[in-house]
Amino acid sequence: MTLVYLVQHGDRERQPGDPALTELGREQATRTGQWLKDTGVRSVWTSPLRRASETADCLAAVTGLAVRSDARLRERLNWDGDVPLDDFLAAWAATTRDRDLVPAGGDSSRQAAARLRAFLTRLAPEQGPVAAVTHGGVTTDLLRDLVGDDRLPDGLLDAGVPPCAVTAVDGTRVVMIASTAHLA
């Protein structure tokens, strides 16, 4: 199996659509890249969403690795501004509670987890650790499948994954969940 470091994108602008990273987000991503370089990662993958690809570009600048994009790393639901933020947040909460609920314009929690798991399965023959920049919702969806809700860190379902937190998965074995120690 391949050890995969699932990296939450860095801090982003607070706007709908496909927002860019903030200056803090770029700093977080650069520090994460420095940490990943020491782990010996051999490839960097990213969600096609801008906040993730900008994070991956910062990782690549430090590690010297090329960035590859894969749509399976995208978030399960993205606020595009077509609906009020409160409506989006209500839809997000509903899909968190009911993992089979498919929201308009997105995936159910189970579909998102299966999509990310398919990405990880594809990497199985790849040599060496891999960094994959993704999003907190889909990472949490995968963790819910792999370890169950009762083994998630307190508050993860409510507060989400912090910017540039790293979750490490080796096959279906979870090694680390939403660690920000490298940012200290």
Active-site positions read 9, 75
Q: Give the C-alpha separation, 29 to 102, whole Å.
A: 31
Q: Amino acid letter at 91?
A: A
Q: Give the C-alpha separation, 3 to 49, whole Å.
A: 23
Q: Give the C-alpha separation, 184 to 178, whole Å.
A: 14
Q: Give the C-alpha separation, 48 to 70, whole Å.
A: 7
Q: Amino acid letter at 28?
A: Q
